[in-house]
Amino acid sequence: MAKTATKSAKKTAAKAAAKPAAKAAAKPAAAKPAVKATAKAAPKAKAKPAKKPAVKLSMLKPSVNNMTVRVFARAAGLDTAETDAWGHTRSPEFMARNPAHLTPMIEDKGLPRGVLWESCAIMQYLSNKHGLEKFYPKAPAKRAMIDSAMFYLVGTLYPYVARATYPFLGFPQYAGEVGHSDAHPDRKSEAQKAAMAAIAEPLEVFHSFFRDGKPFIGGKNPSIADIRLAATLEFLAVIDYPLPKWAKDYVAAVEKKLGKAYSEPAGDVRGYIAYVKSQAKASA
């Protein structure tokens, strides 16, 4: 059954990408009689939007790691059943399925262990599964650039972003970070500032190397690497990071292209940042 769904999903990927799955699914009972009425009508009726199985997603609304997959799932027209995992990621039930206690996490019967975490791996898997080449090209060289951009983001840019923003977001820092230790607040502040200063270099690499004059890393359309980058940059608002003009325009362009698929999950992150900032102002 999963295979059939995948095949027809491929055929209708372009259509489905333009529409939220819920809408697509709600539509055509009317297409049914046409299937039997004429032989000519048969192919059309076959092409009715396949109902892709809902993606079960455990997520945290204020997180850009989670925003990434939430945006992607919407933009790709995947039907997502989201569960808010706030406060539950370290529960015995969650840890039994996902010992890394990390979100985003999807559940899918086809996966050897039933679950998958890491935002980029989730987008790669769902793109492969549903043939979403628009977001994740198949050609090895093109795909390699998307992979390189995502690994560079998760391995290099994101740790700087986390170190610079988590203290202000009220998120716990990762073990081993000065911000996670008992160090003097001055040391923590120095680490935060050093991380903030370090962001500029990898950021520029995304612009000059990965985009290389194109609107997006993916070319004319945002790829999964673009979704990952734009979402990451959202966090920088909490420290009023002076984004270069290209980066502001870039995030706006990703949002414009993806529309509600982007702005809805971004709204959760932006709302959280606005809340955190208002709290900081009130206590200043």
Ligand X SMILES: N[C@@H](CCC(=O)N[C@@H](CS)C(=O)NCC(=O)O)C(=O)O
Instruction: Answer yes or no whether residue 119 interacts with ligand X by CB under 6 A.
Output: yes
| Site membership for ligand X, residue 118 (CB under 6 A) | yes
Q: Is 229 an interacting residue with respect to ligand X (CB under 6 A)?
A: no
Q: Is 154 in the site for ligand X (CB under 6 A)?
A: yes
Classify residue 77 by its DSSP letter: T
- Quick one: which of 10, 101, 143, 270 contacts ligand X (CB under 6 A)? 101
Q: Residue 116 pairs with which residues in a beta bridge?
A: 106
Smallest separation, CB 162 to ligand X (Å): 8
133 sits near ligand X (criterion: CB under 6 A)? no
User: Which one of 80, 103, 124, 127 is in contact with ligand X (CB under 6 A)?
Assistant: 103
How many CB atoms neighbour CB 120 within 10 A?
22
C-beta of residue 119 within 8 angstroms of C-beta of residue 68? yes
Q: Between the CA of residue 153 and those of 45, 195, 203, 233, what are the distances in Å?
A: 43, 14, 9, 11
276 binds ligand X (CB under 6 A): no
Residue range at the interface with ligand X (CB under 6 A); choices 95-103, 219-227, 237-245, 269-277: 95-103
Nearer to ligand X, 5 or 268 (CB): 268
**Integer Cα distance of 122 and 119 in angstroms:** 5
Write the interaction track for ligand X spanning residues 63-92; mark x where CB under 6 A is met and - where it is not.
x-x-----------------------xx--
Window contacting ligand X (CB under 6 A); options: 20-28, 47-55, 58-66, 177-185? 58-66
Query: Cα–Cα distance between 30 and 9 in angstroms, integer?
Result: 20
Which residue, 90 or 113, has its beta carbon nearer to ligand X? 90
How far apart CA 143 and CA 34 sit, in angstroms, is: 40
Smallest distance, Å, CB 248 to ligand X?
A: 23
Q: Which is nearer to ligand X, 80 or 119 (CB)?
A: 119
Of 196, 193, 163, 161, give the one whose Cα is nearest residue 178: 163
Query: Please, what sign has the CA dihedral across residues 207, 210, 212, 216?
Result: negative
Contact 135, 127 (CB under 8 A): yes
φ, ψ for residue 96 (rounded to 5)?
-65, -30
By the criterion CB under 6 A, which residues form the site for ligand X?
60, 63, 65, 89-90, 101-104, 118-119, 154
